[in-house]
Structure formats: structure tokens, C-alpha cells
Structure 1
Amino acid sequence: MTRDSQLKISYGQAFIAPDRNSIRSTMSVRIPEGSGLAVKGVSAVVADSTWRNVIAKQAAETCVRGFLADYYATPDNWDVKTSATKVLSALNGWLFSQGKNVTNGNYISSFSSVVLKGRHGHLFHMGDTLVYRLRGGEFEQLNREHTNFIGGYRYPSRALGLDPSVDIDYHQFSLKQGDILLFTTQASKGTLVASDYVQQIRHNASDLNEACDQLLNVAMEKASARGYSSTHFCFQLVRIDMLPEESGDTIGEAFGALPVPRELNIGDDLDGYRVMEVLNKSNMSCIYRVEDKHTGREMVLKAPSPQLESRKDFLRQFIMQQWVVERVNSPYVAKIVDASRPRNYLYYLREFVDGRTLTEWMLQNPHAELRRLIDLIEQMVKAVRALHRRDILCQGLHPDNILVDQRGMIKLIDFASCAVPGTDDLPSPLSIVRMVGLTPFSAPEYRLNREPGPNADQFSLAVIAYWMLTGQQPYADQMEHFHSRVDFSRLEYLPSYQFNPMVPVWLDGTLRRALQPNPELRYRRLSEFIYDLKKPNPHYMKEGAMPLVERNPLMFWKGLSGILLLLLIGSMVT
């Protein structure tokens, strides 16, 4: 059951085959739960393999299962068309390669899918499967068949697995409440006419499974009367029962409009969660350790600060925090907990981690071994990489947002600045940082109003690592006074071994590279950064061994300009 403000559908199915081994068509409907409904939408699929194929059933099922599994695993900031076409192209290549290894069979299958998201349908089609729409008294075929006649038989001219590359028909259309979509195969094409479909669907509109059964019965009767095969029919009906409001086709609306709770104190109750401890109250949010009165489970409840109740931009970003992070699965990132009961207020729950902030841990372990510190840094890198794998920028890395639990494991716990670049439904990374604010650990590109990338998180990780090793900042309050690229080119990096003689020169070289003001000069990947932190890079074994362009970009470009000027003068003289 979905919220009234979200898309709601009903569906029914019916098929016949003489036995399991002769099945050659497959159909399915996937309705995701929670925010996935607004993010990815509902998928309805039908696939039909060639009739002289010993693995027809396997081919059709592979198409349907492969598409549904991979479509819902695509990054959430991809639009429907991008997600589906990339998945189908990859699936086609795999099916084609597998078909080369099959004797007397193939992985070729016609395929049609409609993704229903918000107030629009997105049709993807190749082959001779059929998709119709019944709207009021109008019965319309939405797709175009791709067929050839060879030797008196009809074959699909386009299909999944037929060629190394596939040409996918795409069509977007608006939805109306009451629309009914019919998915079927070529077997019904010469058997039923439009009036048959409309009559059976209307007579059984309250039960779509019964409507499909009646379509099947009528098709079998007509096929038998005409001497056709009556053993290969399938029908799938999908009805649009409810559409979201015009503004509901955004990710943020998936959580609905809920009031901001008042500030809570120890002992207060909110939706059955009793406050055990007030962890933090700020002008941005209120964070509490709570206990579920029904299960006894301890969790952390985070709600917006009541003073932000009228700030729609802040509230929208708060709503995004849960949506963004619930898609990350990592032991180094605190997990979002699904509320066991309907929420009456705006908040979200995450797992409770019994630990100390990294700031507190460093104060209690001022002489921690270098090996132990690098282990903690590596765990932080793994946490950030888990976010990056879902196309999420962390942006808010800070020692107070990182916990070290009783086993010495890192947990990233704050997601207020997280962003998914390139998504129309979400605020941009820069706008989020402007709302939340900069810290001494923020990368220079934010101060230059440049759109950040994953290397911005690398810079923040390196600042934290530098701070852990030295207790200082790599640019010692210089950054706050600089506002242009020229200013940042004058930043003077302070070698970490000047503050901590125990830091090897090669380790400082690694930090220096990750802390380059120019993001293009940092490591290309976080894996390279952590590799150099753990294993000495021979390029950084001696002081000053780092290339001049990385150690002092301003001096490098001045020197290069001077050389070019001398060469130009020399050429003019000669």
C-alpha cells in the first residue's frame, strides 16, 4: 500500500503453455517500496523468445529478471531513460555473447517495458511484443513491431541478444488516472481484435486477474476455431489507480509533508520513541539517543531545528539526508533505520553507535602509534568510497562527524552536507554547502564557487589525516583570507614533519599531493591515496623529491614562463 500522494497501481496476469519446457514468454511487474517508488518508479515488463528455441523460457526469463535487477540498482541520480537504456545495452551484449555458446538455441528475445514514474510512462521496446493503452473509449497500440518475414514465418528484426548492439525504441507519454496498459505477445496479434480487448477489460475492470483470464479464454477459443495454436498466450494488465500531485514527481516529496517536532528533553516521547539522551542541539538540527518503547532498541533520532520550520530549502535538504544515505551499505557508514510505525513528524532514525567522536578519541590518545592512525584514516577512506560508489559527495567530513566505536571501527554519522551531483530533483552540491556552511576541512573549490567533485572529499580526508598526525592545519589559517585562483596558488603548504618529527618524508609527500589546492593535481582515486599512505612511494622518499608543479605550482609556472620568454627572445635574435 502506498501513500495517497504517490503513484498507485493495480495489475493482473494470465498465461498458458502446454508444459514448463515449452514456455517462451515471461512477464512481471515490480513495485518498489518506500522512497524507491518516487525515485525509480514501477516497472512492467514482457519478453517473448523465438518459437524454435530450445532455451526460449530461459532467454525470456533472463531478459525480464536481468532488466529488473539492474534497473533498480542503477544510481538514483540517473533519469529513467539513461538507466534503462544503459541496462538494456549491457544486457544485450551479455545475451549475444552467451548465445554463441548454445547449440540449437539462442538468447534472443523480444522485449517491452514501461516504467511508470510520477505522472509519466517511459516505454522501452525492441521486437514484436505488444503494448496497448486503454484510455476511456480509446484503445491504442503504443509501440511499433520490428518484424521480418522469412520463408513464410515472422521473425523479429530487432530483439535483445540478436546483434552485438541494439536499437531501442523509447517513447515518453503522460499518464491519466484510470489508464490501463496491456502487455501481450505476437501470438495474440492475429487472434484478438481491439473490441475483444475492450469488452473483456471493461466487463472485469474490478478484477484485473479475472480480466486476463477472460482474455486468455477468448483467445484460446478463437485460435482453436481458426485452427491456430492455442497454447502460447500471455496477458498482463496494469491500471493507474492514483497519480501523485504535480509537485510530487520529485524525490523529496516521497517522504510527504510532516511538521517539525518541538525540541525534546530527556524522558519525552515522539511517535513511541523515548528520549534517553540529548546528543546535540544546534541551529540546524536536534539529535537524540532514543529507545523504541515497543522493542527496546536504542537508536539515534535526528530532526530539524524548530527554528527552521519556515525554511523550505533547509527542510528539503534534511529530507534528502535519509534518502541519500539509506542507499549506502558499508560497515563504516552509520545505517539508516526504517521507522517501524508511521511518522507524525519530520525526522529520521539511524543506528546508535557506542563510541567517541574522532576529536575526543585523539584527545584521549595523543601518542597513538602511526600505524594505528593510518588504520583509522584507511577506514575513513572506505566510508567515503562507499558514498562515491553511489555517486554521493560527502562534503561535510569533520572529526566531530566521525565516531570511533568500542572496537576501534570508524563510523561516519553525519550526512547534512551530502549531495548527489547532476540530479534535478536534489539541491546542487554548492547550494547545500552554502546552507550548511564551510569548515577548516572544506576543499578550496567551495570557496571559489567551483562545482566540486570526488576530489573535494579527498582534500577533506587529507586535512583530517594531517590534523591527526600533527594537531595542526596544513595551510594554517591561510585559506580563510583567499578568494581567487591566484590567491590559492600562493598557499604555502607546511610540511607535517615540521610539527611531528615521527612523520616520514614519504608520508608527508602523500599528504601534500592530496592537499593540492588544484583538484586536478590530487590523486585520481582514493585507492591510490590510501595505497601511498600505507606503502612508501619512492617518488616521495626524499625531502623535495615531489615534482615542483606539485610542491609549488606558482614557482613552477613562473619558471616555465621565464624559460619560454628566453626561448622567444633567442629565436628573435637569431
Structure 2
Amino acid sequence: MTLTRQARPDGGRVSPSPRLDIALGQASDRGRKDINQDFHGACLPAEPQLSTKGTVVALADGISSSAVSHIASQTAVAGFLEDYYCTPDAWSVRKSAQRVLAAINAWLHSQTRQGEYRHDADRGYVCTFSALIIKSATAYLFHVGDARIYRLRGHDLEQLTRDHRLRVSADTSYLARALGVGPHLEIDYLALPLERGDLFILATDGVHEHIDAPRLGSLISEHEEALQAAAEGIIEQALARGSDDNLTVQLLRIDELPAPTVLEHSRQLTELPPAPLLESRAVFDGYTIERELHASSRSHVYLATDNECGERVVLKVPSIDQRQDLASLEHLMLEEWVARRLHSPHVVRAAPARQRRYLYAVNEFIEGQTLHQWMLDNPLPELQRVRDIVGQIAQGLRAFHRLDMLHQDLRPQNIMLDHAGTVKIIDFGSVRVAGIDEIDGGAPQNPVPGTVQYAAPEYFLGLGGSPRSDLFSLGVIAYQMLTGTLPYGTEVAKASTRTAQLRLGYRSALQYRQDLPVWLDEVLKRAVHPDPSKRYAALSEFTFDLCQPGGARLATQRPSLLERNPVAVWQSVALLLSVALLLALSRIAGS
């Protein structure tokens, strides 16, 4: 049985160069059995899904001991092809596929548990599953069971998966892993770089147990330009060699690879000219420019009025120096791409989409002030107000993290407070998106994104970030709001080795604010720990502990005077030594 979705009827080929271009052939047969318990499918989407999610081929093989496993196979493949493309664009392939497969596995297992075969999984809703996802210049494999995925590169045929089958004897074996067997799924995952001409083969055991690798390669070579004929020939050959099982094979060849770009699906990068620098009162693309808000080497930001609806918006256009830099233009468009996918009252919104004649980004205008200005106006804020602001920032960050995004430039200048007291995160110029990184083909990233005073220590080691990196930045901001300074001063940026980071000395917040609870200092210290593994695991833990003592997790003893005020300690020591010296001198003089 088969399910195929194509962007257009083009004989199994999609997408002209320089985008991804593949050739596809697939065939299935019930063989000598009464029904075909195999199910296979493919989805060849149009843009933008071709770039953001990729092309998918998948097959499933039911087990002969079950009368309902053909339903499991169809559910697995059809459900995967449907639900994978419904996952957020920002999610990585691995996260998207594993989330979908976990849900399918749970559904299949529950159907067995609710049916007459709840005590015999081998007769329930169980099947093998193998999928290949081609996104940009990478192949992603997901596999459980005893079907196989091969790669033919030149004349070398390599098996990329392993069989999850245990053999008790020469004649007896059973599946060790499959979809629907248990409530939890363990699935093999592999990511491989692609080369033009790579050919992938997905085959059930009814095929690969009767055609060895050399014969498989020669059959494909005989039909090099007609993969559908090759797939049908492989089925015929396996039947002729005595296969008594269902037979399914899928062939996918990479004919062209895309040139990696951050926003490969965005026509605007190649079809629209960069917006010019703007003047006050100018009418531009349906907006009236009011004034310039900010200018930097990367961009110019303007306050404008949308002439269609009368709302005030913020326009960001590339600077003169960045107009020929494709990477900079990609990042500018990425900011709006990110804003359109985030839905949180604590993250700036993208303006409504409309037809444009130039390349620029548009977001909502927030009437208020930056957190940086608020901190200048409130040098000694109440603790509860700080907790409120930090909690709102954390809610905004969670919107990023749920979609596999990292902000990477969290700082007071990138946080706005409106007149109602609502906090919003702005400026997505350094945002890292897992799904977009895959399109980018692993291009080198700036090792220290954002502003060094708030960047997590791991960035200075050349390591990638994680949600705990954003948490570090939030911890620094919380500390700065309360104390007016930074927990490590400017030393973090100088610590570019593990050893140097271990020597970083946390400055107790109690040195600057004696009115703060002792346990609160421990909360801040943990949030900004140089080692990511020793920070809070989740933003919710940090904001929870920020509001009350953390029980056994935190020290209950008041820190020593040396920790709270080392200057006072050493001044006292110096005074005692001076007194002792004077007494000693007076005794010598008296004698």
C-alpha cells in the first residue's frame, strides 16, 4: 500500500536547481500472502516547506502474527507524513520527527491495550518503521525494526541501519524493537551530509533477505535513469528468488543540492532591493516615517505609521555597509520570520504581512522605555518589582525555547517595559533557530553572539548555546537590577579556557544590598554559575526560587563576613595587626 504527496506532477522530481532536486521510485507487492501488511509513502512538498521541513519517504512493515498490523503500518506512515509537516518550522528535524513518532507509538500501544490482544503484543498494533528526511544538504534517518536503509554512493553500497531482530536459532527470531510494542519508544537516529548522486534505498525484509548487496546495486545500475522501473525490477527479482513475504522498496536519488542559506525559502532575499535610508515625514511603501529611533553599523530603525490602519510600527532597514552582505540581509529577514512564529505577550509582535517593494523588517511599536533606562531611573528597586520583571522575561524566553530557539542577546537594551508595566523582549538579530541552522548547512556561527557583558561563559569557549545560556543572561540582568553591577564584573569575557572560568569569583549581591535575603544570593549565584550543568535546569525553577527559599537545595546558613564583605574583613585584620605591632613596639621601648 502506498501514499504519495507531490508538490506537482513531475514524475517524481521536485524543485529546480539550485534548490533540492530528487528522483523517486517506489514499489510494493503483497507477494504470496493474502494481504499486504506493508505501507509506504512519500511527501515532496513545495516551498516554503521544502526548505523548512524537507522531503520525506517512509515505510512500515506489519508483523505476520497480527491480524491488525496492516492498520498499524498505515497509521504509522500516514500519520508521520501528516503530523511531521504540522510541527513548528523552527523545530529541528530530530525534535519534530521524534515528537511525532512518540505520539504514534503511544496511540498504537494504547489501541493494543484496549483491545482483545492486550496480553499479547505480537498480535496487536505493532509494525516496523523506517524514514528518511532530506532537508537542505543533510539526510536524517529514523529507524526501528528490521527494514533497512542503504546508501549507494558511486559503486559503494552501505547499510545505514541495523536490524532490531534477535535470532534464537537458525530458524527462529523475533523483533526486539518496533512501533507499538511498549509505552516508550527507542528509535535509532542518524544524520549524514549529502553529496550529489547519493542514492538511498529503503527496503522491507521481504526484499533485503532475498537480494544481496551486489545484486541490489546492479539492478539499480540497469535502470539508472528510471528509478520507478528499478524499484519494480527489485520487487520482481525478490519474488523470483523465493520471497514469501510482503515486499516494499523505495529509491531516492539526490540530483541537485541547494546552496545553503539561512532563509532559503525567502524570495525577498533575491527579488527585492534593500530598503533605502529614510527621512522624517517621508512616505515609504505605505508607511509614513516619523523619526529615527536608533542607528548602528548593522541597521537603521525608524518609528513609522501604517497608512492603511493608522497603527504605529517600527521599521528596520539595512545600513549602507550591509546592503551587499547576503548574510546580514538574511539575518534581517530572520528577525521578522522569528517574530511571526512566536506568540507571547512578552515578545514583540511582527506587523501584519503585506506586499512589499523593498527588503526590510516591520514589528509593533512599544510605547515605553528600555529596561536599561528603567534601571537608571530605579537604582534601588523593590525586590518584588524585580521578581515581576524577571518572571515576565522568563515567560518570553520560554516562548523561544518551546520552538527550539535561543535569543542569545538578552540584555537590558533589548527588553522593553510599556506604560502598563508589561515586559517584552525585542531585537532578534542574534536568535539561533535549530530548524534554520539545518537549512544553513552548519555554517560557522559567531562564537560569542550578542553582548559580551551578558553572554554565557560557554560562548567564550567556542561552544554552542542552550536554554541555560539564556538563563545565565537573565540571571545577570536580575543581579544587575538589584545591585547596579555585574556578578563577575568584566572577567567573564576574559575567561576563554575552562581553567580561567573555574577561577571566576562570584561577587555576593549582599556586598551591595544588605537588605536582600541571604538565600536570594544563593539563587542568583546558581543562575549565573560558569558551568551550565550547575545552573538551574529550567527557567521556571529559577523564577520559583527567586520568590522563596529553596529549602534543602540552598544553604540555610548566613554566609561568612568574608563572603559578604571581604574588604571589611581585611581592613579588620590589618587593624588588629597594627595594634599588635604597636603593643610589641611599646614593650620593646619599655624594656
- TM-score, length of structure 1 as denominator length: 0.65
Identify if the C-alpha distance between structure 1 residues 235 and 480 changes in structure 2 by more than 3 Å, giving closer, same or farther. closer
* Counterpart in the other structure of 1:570: none
What SS does the aligned partner of 1:489 have? coil
Aligned counterparts of 1:326 and 1:412: Cα–Cα separation in 2: 14
Q: Name the counterpart of 1:160.
A: 178
Tell me which of 386, 397, 407 is aligned to 2:399.
Answer: 386
Distance 1:274 1:32, change over 3 A: farther
Taking structure 1 as reference, are residues 65 and 274 closer, same or farther at Cα in structure 2, changes over 3 Å only? Answer: farther
Note the C-alpha offset of 1:30: 3.9
| 1:466 positional shift | 3.9
Quick one: structure 1 residues 488 and 200, their matched pair in 2 at CA, closer, same or farther if it must change by over 3 Å?
closer
Contact preservation (8 Å) 1:132, 1:183: yes
Partner of 2:447: 430
Could you say if the C-alpha distance between residues 414 and 548 of structure 1 is closer, same or farther in structure 2, counting changes exceeding 3 Å?
Answer: farther
| 1:113 counterpart = 2:95 | no
Bigger Cα displacement from structure 2, 394-403 vs 93-102 = 93-102
Could you give the per-residue CA deviations for residues 73-129 of structure 1, whole angstroms, max 9, x where no partner exists?
599696x6x669966995797589658635173232233322223345455555566
Residue 61 of structure 2 corresponds to residue 48 of structure 1: yes
Q: Percent identity?
A: 29
Using the alignment, how far apart are the partners of 1:14 and 1:145 within structure 2?
22
Shift of 1:361: 5.3
8 Å CA contact 1:111, 1:159 repeated in 2 = no
Quick one: distance in 1 between partners of 2:166 and 2:492? 70
RMSD: 6.2
Displacement after TM superposition at 1:425 (Å): 1.9
Q: Is the 8 A contact 1:59 1:108 kept in 2?
A: yes
1:465 aligns with 2:482: no
> Which of 474, 479, 483 in structure 1 is aligned with 2:490?
479
Cα distance in 2 for partners of 1:65, 1:406 equals: 50
Q: Which residue of 2 aligns with 1:286?
A: 300
5+ long unaligned stretches in structure 1? 557-574
1:156–1:84 CA distance, 2 compared to 1 (3 A): farther
Q: Deviation digits for residues 429-448 of structure 1, max 9, x if unmatched?
A: 63434xxx434x45566678
Aligned pairs for 1:6-405 (under 5 A) are 6-8=19-21, 24-30=37-43, 37-38=50-51, 40-51=53-64, 53-64=66-77, 67-68=80-81, 69=83, 94=106, 98=110, 101=113, 102=115, 103=117, 105-119=123-137, 121-122=139-140, 124-125=142-143, 160-161=178-179, 168=188, 174=194, 176=196, 243-245=257-259, 248=260, 251=262, 253=264, 255=266, 257-258=269-270, 260-266=274-280, 275=289, 278-289=292-303, 299-309=313-323, 314=328, 318=332, 321=335, 328-336=342-350, 339-341=353-355, 345=359, 347-360=360-373, 370-390=383-403, 392-405=405-418
C-alpha displacement at 1:4, in angstroms? Answer: 5.3
1:568 — aligned with what? Answer: none
Write the deviation string for residues 390-423 of structure 1: whole angstroms up to 9, x where unpaired: 5544332222211234553321111223346998
* Deviation larger for 300-309 or 181-190: 181-190
Shift of 1:379: 1.0
Distance 1:462 1:118 in 2: 36
2:509–2:521: 8 Å Cα contact kept in structure 1? no
Post-superposition Cα deviations, 1:350-377, rounded to whole Å, max 9, x if no partner, equal 4554554334556788897643442221
Count of matched residue positions in the alignment of Structure 1 and Structure 2:
526
Return the offset for 1:428: 3.9
Aligned partners of 1:536, 1:483: CA distance in 2, in Å? 33
Give yes or no for contact 1:41–1:117 (8 Å, CA) kept in 2: yes
Superposition deviation, residue 130 in structure 1: 7.8
SS across alignment from 1:262: coil
Paired position in structure 1 for 2:581: none
* Letter paired with 2:485: Q
Offset, 1:63: 2.5
Partner amino acid, structure 2, of 1:425: G
Alpha-carbon distance change, 406 to 62 in structure 1, aligned in 2, over 3 angstroms: farther
Letter in 1 for 2:301: I
Amino acid at match of 2:490: M
For the residue of structure 2 that corresponds to 1:432, the secondary structure is coil
Alpha-carbon shift at residue 276 of structure 1 (Å): 5.5
Distance, in Å, in 2 between the alignment partners of 1:286 and 1:49 is 59
- 1-structure distance, mates of 2:158, 2:505: 62
Deviation at 1:307, TM superposition (A): 1.8
Deviation for aligned residue 1:29: 3.1
Determine helix, strand or coil for the equivalent of 2:430: coil
> Which residue of 2 is the match for residue 497 of structure 1?
513
Are residues 510 and 200 of structure 1, via their aligned partners in 2, closer, same or farther at CA, if it must alter by over 3 Å?
Answer: closer
Instruction: Tell me whether 257-266 or 165-174 shows the greater mean CA deviation.
Output: 165-174
| CA–CA separation in structure 1 for the residues paired with 2:151 and 2:58 | 14
- Please give the secondary structure, in 1, of the residue aligned with 2:130: strand
User: Partner of 2:523: helix, strand, or coil?
Assistant: helix
Which runs of no fewer than 5 residues in structure 2 stay unpaired? 1-6, 8-14, 570-591
One-letter amino acid of the structure 1 residue matched with residue 135 of structure 2: K
Given the superposition, is the C-alpha separation of residues 241 and 352 from structure 1 closer, same or farther in structure 2, using an over 3 Å criterion? farther
CA 1:92–1:351: 2 relative to 1, 3 Å: same
Residue 547 (structure 1) shift: 7.4
* Equivalent AA in structure 1 for residue 546 of structure 2: L
Distance in 2 between residues matched to 1:382 and 1:365, nearest whole Å: 23
Query: 2:19 is aligned with what amino acid?
Result: Q
Residue 360 to residue 28, structure 1, CA distance change in 2 (3 Å): farther
Q: Deviations over 1:277-311 (max 9, x none)?
A: 54322222222355667787765443332223456
3-state SS in 2 of match to 1:115: strand
Paired with 1:518 and 1:191, the residues of 2 have a C-alpha distance of: 54
Provide the C-alpha distance between the structure 2 equivalents of 1:168 and 1:450, rounded to a whole number of angstroms.
Answer: 26
Partners of 2:458 and 2:191 in 1: CA distance = 40
**Residue in structure 1 matched with residue 523 of structure 2 by the alignment:** 510
**Corresponding residue for residue 563 of structure 1:** none
The structure 1 residue matched to 2:429, chosen from 416, 432, 437, is 416
1:307 alignment partner, SS class = helix
Residue 24 and residue 537 in structure 1: after superposition, are their counterparts in 2 closer, same or farther (change >3 A)? same
The SS at the match of 1:48 is strand
For residues 357 and 173 of structure 2, the distance between their equivalents in structure 1, rounded to whole angstroms, comes to 54
